[in-house]
A and B are shown apart, each in its own frame.
Chain A
Amino acid sequence: MADDGDLAGPARRARTRWADVRRHWHFYVFISPFFILFAVFGLYPMLFSLYLAFVKWDGLTGMTWVGLANFATMLEDEILATSLWNTLVIGLLYVPPMMVLAFLFALALNVPWLKMRGAFRSAFFLPCVTPMVVIAIVFGLLYSPERGLLNYTIGRIGLDPIPWLNSEAWSKVAVAILVVWRWTGYNMVLMLAGLQGIPHEYYEAAKVDGAGAWQRVRHITVPLMRPTFLFCGLLSLLGTVYMFDEVFVLTRGGPGISSTNFGLYLFNISFGDFRFGYASSVAYTVALAVFVIALAATRRGRASPDEGEGGA
């Protein structure tokens, strides 16, 4: 490329720049299909949604600018508060059992002498590839108070039938059980990958030192799995907040609003009430809150001392 020594710095940089762009024209052509669609259906909606957070609009008639009024309404919205509470409760109900189960299953499947590993893995993983609408309806049958399989089994053990979907407390449990069933396999696979990344030498060294199986797990496996656990935890956080199909189909958020989580709540105010402006402000606020929580959790998770390389 001819170096034009007479031109001043910025102009020459500009010319070089433009020459670079022209040299790389393939790059821009190749990314343009993606970017055009991304701009229309990714970027523009994000910005438009941000704008909508400051208006009152029903999608059909006129838009009114209301400034921060939507955010003020959010602070007093009892139903939003209830939905966030429900989300927390459902999360606390399902995440610990699911993580424990996933970890135990991963440990079991990681055992070197195990045959049929693929079959077991498939059995546990299959739940998460199926359409939730069908599964939720099946679970609805299983949860039927008088004729469901669950209450029948419970009855055989001698306990009272549980009003799964008809009780404000139990509906959350019903959702939690469904979610555990669905996502344990997924987390198990993630944890399995994490387990396989732990070098054998550590275990050998521990065995030589006389550590038993569970001690090895406690002192080597668990600490080294921290990044994996963190990753699973973050996925679970997002999953719980934005969970939709399970609640929409199984309980419809009921009875009352006792099992309405945030995902369903947002859907209800967006497309049930058609309050586009308010819904946008709620969506952004909660997204921001989740982001902050995720960031804080990641910082804390990474800040803990690692004994050697973890995970990968």
Chain B
Amino acid sequence: MRTHNRAGFAIGLCALLAALAAAGCATGPTGETPAQVLTPECVSRPDRVAGQIDVWGWNIAAKSLAKLVPDFNRRYPHVAVNVDMTGANLQTRFLLSLSAGVGAPDVSQLQMVDAPKYIATERLTDLTPVAARYEKSFSPSLWRNCLHKGKVYAIPWDMGPCAVYYKRELFERYGVDPEKIETWDDYMAAGKVILEKSGGRTKMLPLAPTSLWMMYEILLQQNGGQVFDDDGRIAVNTPQSKQVLETLRKLLASGICDEVAMWGHEFMAGLKSDSIATYPIAVWFGGTIKDTVQEYPGQKARWGVFRLPALEKGGLRTSNVGGSVLVIPDQCRQKAAAWTFIEYALCTREGQLAQYRHFDLFPAYLPALDDPYFDAPDPFYDGQKVSRLFATDLTKIPPLNRTRDWVEATRYFEQSLTLWASRGMHSEGFFATLEQKLHRRIGREISPASLSLAEGQAHGR
């Protein structure tokens, strides 16, 4: 009986193990070594490139990719494209799939500011063999974010050049000529005039002390300032930063700012009422203006655009906020097919113009800007050639060294700015303190060019 039961034990154990093994065998794909290295030969013959690719994107961007597919298939008939816009937490799932080595799509959208973080995981395909030739076709401020150790891992998709949207009637009513505004000082003076003449009812721009980062980033790119230097060290305490902070301070102190949260109720109401006169912001805001304004009945406000004021006379009158890129995860098995789609959507005039035309995605691909479409007058803006205005001086925008810690750093930056604004805007020591905070939190060294040493405010590092 004892032997019988020992056998029973053994059989039972084997059965259990077998069941578990069977369970283990029937699995989905697990992380395995990726196939292919991308080379120009892979894509040299359009009729030879074949495969089914999954593309992840969100919102309008994804829709615009989907719309490109029929025209894309005319060039590459054997590549089937599936654009997937569903599913919450896209970025988290993407990062999880990159880490696990399984489950990532063939092509994915990323925000430009996030790109360095994902590229640093070293789980994206090196696109240099096929993409290096496009380096000069993009503004350096965008291309820089796509590089890692000299290689290309992402392609810029769209960008957000900045200018000022304004309401023509208000300017006419209060006698302000937008053409005369060249610097931020001119802008503030105009704002004060409007404020006075409207009896305090009309503010010049929306700027909330709790969300100063976007304006800071816009201004920072106008004088070549940085958060990180070329070697990735913390470089916030510089003359450029101080100039930007001083401009912010003057804007807030002048009383011309409507302190409403972006996208909030009053912010959107300002589009339809007299409470806000201008919106210094990126081109993608135009879509919101058109949608919101056309929503309500009655006489519509007339809008126009003038160039972003410079920090100093003769300085750069544009900047960049936002934009996305496309990447190919290393685990992709159809790298050639995936690349052909990216190339069509992002590196051809055809692809880029179609997206601008139908979905207002401002092309990052510079050759596309030569198209006469950009010189067409826009009836919504009283016939102004708005596209050409936004397309000016884009190669002059200095690249920001974003590094993989960009999003985290800007979070701390915004918190510090909020604190600064709420406590009387004392700029003395602001950058020295911020520098230390970033150093402690992110663990990066402080640039030797930092002014903290000279100011006698350096602490032990």
Contact = CB atoms under 8 A, between A and B. Distances in A.
Given A271-B96, A274-B99, A61 B441 contact: no
Interface in B295-309: none
B408 interface: yes
B12 to A, nearest CB: 12
B92 A271 contact: yes
B120 interface: yes
Interface residues of A, number: 17
A76 B122 CA distance: 31
Interface string A44-81: 00000000000010111100101001001100101000
B123 A272 contact: no
B95 A73 contact: no
B440 A73 contact: yes
A56 B404 CA distance: 14
A73 B437 CA distance: 9
10 contacts: A58-B120, A60-B121, A61-B120, A61-B121, A72-B440, A73-B441, A76-B441, A272-B92, A273-B408, A274-B95
A229 B441 CA distance: 42
B415 interface: yes
B440 A60 contact: no
B129 interface: no
Interface in A255-269: none
A64 B443 contact: yes
B121 A76 contact: no
Contacts of B121: 58, 60-61
Given A271-B96, A272-B91, 12 more contacts: A56-B443, A58-B120, A58-B121, A59-B99, A60-B123, A61-B122, A76-B441, A78-B415, A271-B92, A272-B92, A272-B95, A274-B99
Nearest to A274: B95
B402 to A, nearest CB: 16
Contacts of A56: 443
A76 B437 contact: yes
A197 B415 CA distance: 54
A76 B441 CA distance: 9
Contacts of B96: 271
Contacts of B92: 271-272
B348 to A, nearest CB: 33
Nearest to B92: A272
Nearest to B407: A273
**A-B complex: 3 closest residue pairs judged by Cβ atoms:** A60-B121, A272-B92, A73-B441
Interface in B405-461: 408, 415, 437, 440-441, 443
A58 to B, nearest CB: 7
Contacts of A252: 88
Interface string B21-45: 0000000000000000000000000
A271 B99 CA distance: 10
A69 B99 contact: no
Residue from B88, B120, B437, B441 with most neighbouring chain A CB atoms (10 Å): B441
A56 B91 CA distance: 22
